[in-house]
């Protein structure tokens, strides 16, 4: 039996309660409810609570519960319908016992015994008859495939290896044929729907065009057919354990990391999904969470697009007030410091309280560092930054503009600069007075917001015109970026 782990999804959906399912079983003897009524006999459990669960993308959630009586009988029921999809029966100890389907017909009966779980019955559901018939055949074929694969791995000579490989390919064709047969025989069934979602197109052979092999054709063929027979507004997609994995695979292998390419894909997916009551918020928050703190530099642009084209156009109704405030502030904090934009104006005070402007610093490159002398991570990274500077950056004519964002720790700041010999840098901070003036004047952003300083240290690399050319990298990555940029500009010999 599979042990179920009910993960809490790290998304704003949790704060808004959108994951809530029917956690209470009514178990009444009243008239047939309008929603779902799934009777169950599950031996040998007696006088204990059992559950049904489902997927929410990669996570598993409980959908309903019932208290079995002394005859091992119970009923999952509510006036609310369940979202159609793949569900599973869960034991009192939260182990998954077996899967079944829930479609629009949500009045049927399950009979099972833990001593023979593969023989469970679903009475009154044609969809489950199709699903069970397919599952049995595919499980048998899967076991045969596994046996052949193990024999292939342990083969001691080339002849046996070739024989087992041929057997494996033959059996694999049977598996694909079984899937194709279900899709052709029951084209409108949920089983066919799920099989279509699971499928990946097979890459064709490279064609010859003008006497040359077109090596990109198989890639684009797979990309263009990856979502055949899948429509993104179908709520059943998130009630499967495989849709989100397929989505991640697509963005990892078939979508460029360039923000504009990602935006084009997301715009299409979310526009189509918008009529899906559950799938739309799932996708919107999945992509929001991914690109609000992206893996690759510059992809913050994707989050800003999501904010401007979805949240700012009314989709904040999906959020509670705290989440709405958080997402809005985060978006405005990122807008002014995107790659390719001029760095926001920055006029601050030197340690001896003279005004200094970022734009007065003339250099091919300016490295902008925001840090806090009380931050433990800064105490490690700032000296490392100086090591890179002294080792090579200084020779590349890089200037470091260092900003202390904690005006309450001026003494500690000055001591740290002196003890770590941070020479040749421009050191500065914003005074409390200047900060209060900004706030009193009602300016839309402070320095922290303009430069998205929500963690320390925060680093930027600017070109000669103070345009942002790199951000959110490790010092090693900044070093590689600088070296590559310098080599490109160096005169060719």
pLDDT at 443: 59
pLDDT bracket for residue 325 (50, 70, 90): confident
Query: Does residue 348 contact residue 363 with C-beta atoms inside 8 Å?
Result: no
pLDDT bracket for residue 160 (50, 70, 90): confident
Residue 238 has pLDDT above 90, yes or no: yes
Residue 165 has pLDDT above 90, yes or no: no
Question: In what helix (H) or strand (E) does residue 66 lie, and over which residues does it extend?
Answer: strand 59-67
Instruction: State percent of the chain over pLDDT 90.
Output: 67
pLDDT bracket for residue 491 (50, 70, 90): low
pLDDT at 67: 97
Torsion of Cα atoms, 163 then 164 then 169 then 170, to 10°:
70
Angle between helix axes 300-309 and 279-292 (nearest 10 degrees) is 140
Average pLDDT over residues 241-248: 96
Query: Does residue 427 contact residue 418 with C-beta atoms inside 8 Å?
Result: no
pLDDT bracket for residue 17 (50, 70, 90): very low
pTM: 0.81
pLDDT at 436: 84
pLDDT at 224: 95
E-only strand ranges, 236-299:
none
pLDDT at 31: 54
d(C-alpha 120, C-alpha 95), whole Å? 16
Q: What is the mean pLDDT of the chain?
A: 88
User: Which residue from 210, 226, 318, 221 is spatially nearest to 265, judged by alpha carbons?
Assistant: 226
pLDDT at 112: 97
E-only strand ranges, 291-338:
none
Q: What is the per-residue pLDDT across 29-81, written as a single tens digit (0 to 9) for each?
A: 445 556 999 999 999 999 999 999 999 999 999 999 999 999 999 999 999 99
Q: What is the per-residue pLDDT across 371-384, written as a single tens digit (0 to 9) for each?
A: 999 999 999 999 99
d(C-alpha 292, C-alpha 306), whole Å? 10
Residue 321 has pLDDT above 70, yes or no: yes
């Amino acid at each position: 039996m599979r042990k179920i782990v009910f993960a809490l999804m790290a998304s704003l959906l949790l704060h808004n309660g959108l994951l809530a399912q029917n956690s209470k079983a009514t178990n009444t003897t009243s008239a047939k409810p309008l929603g779902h009524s799934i009777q169950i006999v599950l031996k040998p459990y007696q006088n204990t609570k059992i559950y049904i669960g489902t997927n929410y993308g990669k996570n598993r959630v409980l959908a309903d519960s019932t208290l079995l009586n002394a005859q091992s009988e119970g009923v999952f029921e509510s006036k609310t319908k369940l979202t159609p999809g793949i569900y599973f029966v869960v034991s009192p100890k939260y182990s998954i016992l077996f899967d079944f389907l829930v479609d629009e017909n949500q009045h049927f009966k399950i009979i099972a015994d833990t001593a023979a779980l593969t023989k469970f019955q679903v009475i009154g559901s044609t969809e489950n008859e199709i699903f069970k018939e397919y599952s049995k055949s595919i499980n048998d074929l899967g076991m045969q495939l596994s046996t052949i694969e193990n024999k292939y791995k342990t083969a001691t000579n080339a002849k046996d290896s070739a024989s087992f490989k041929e057997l494996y390919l033959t059996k694999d064709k049977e598996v694909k044929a079984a899937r194709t047969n279900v899709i052709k025989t029951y084209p409108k069934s949920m089983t066919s729907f799920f099989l279509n979602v699971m499928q990946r197109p097979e890459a064709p052979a490279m064609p010859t065009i003008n006497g040359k092999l077109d090596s990109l054709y198989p890639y684009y063929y797979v990309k263009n057919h990856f979502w055949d027979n899948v429509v993104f507004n179908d709520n059943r997609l998130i009630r499967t354990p495989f849709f989100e994995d397929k989505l991640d695979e697509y963005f990892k292998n078939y979508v460029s990391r360039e923000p504009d390419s990602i935006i084009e894909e997301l715009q299409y997916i979310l526009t189509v999904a918008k009529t899906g009551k559950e799938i739309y918020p799932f996708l919107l928050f999945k992509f929001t969470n991914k690109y609000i703190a992206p893996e690759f530099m510059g992809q913050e642009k994707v989050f800003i697009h999501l904010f401007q084209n979805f949240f700012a156009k009314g989709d904040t109704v999906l959020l509670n007030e705290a989440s709405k405030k958080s997402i809005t502030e985060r978006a405005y904090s990122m807008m002014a410091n995107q790659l390719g934009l001029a760095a926001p104006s920055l006029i601050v005070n030197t340690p001896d309280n003279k005004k200094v402007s970022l734009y007065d610093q003339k250099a091919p490159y300016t490295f902008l560092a925001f840090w806090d002398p009380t931050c433990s991570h800064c105490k490690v990274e700032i000296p490392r930054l100086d090591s890179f500077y002294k080792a090579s950056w200084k020779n590349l004519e890089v200037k470091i503009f260092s900003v202390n964002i904690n005006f309450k720790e001026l003494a500690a700041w000055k001591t740290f600069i002196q003890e770590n010999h941070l020479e040749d840098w421009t050191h500065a901070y914003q005074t409390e007075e200047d900060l209060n003036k900004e706030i009193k004047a009602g300016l839309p952003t402070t320095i922290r917001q303009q430069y998205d300083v929500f963690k320390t240290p925060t680093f930027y690399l600017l070109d000669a015109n103070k345009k942002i050319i790199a951000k959110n990298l490790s010092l090693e990555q900044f070093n590689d970026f600088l070296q590559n940029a310098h080599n490109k500009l160096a005169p060719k010999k």
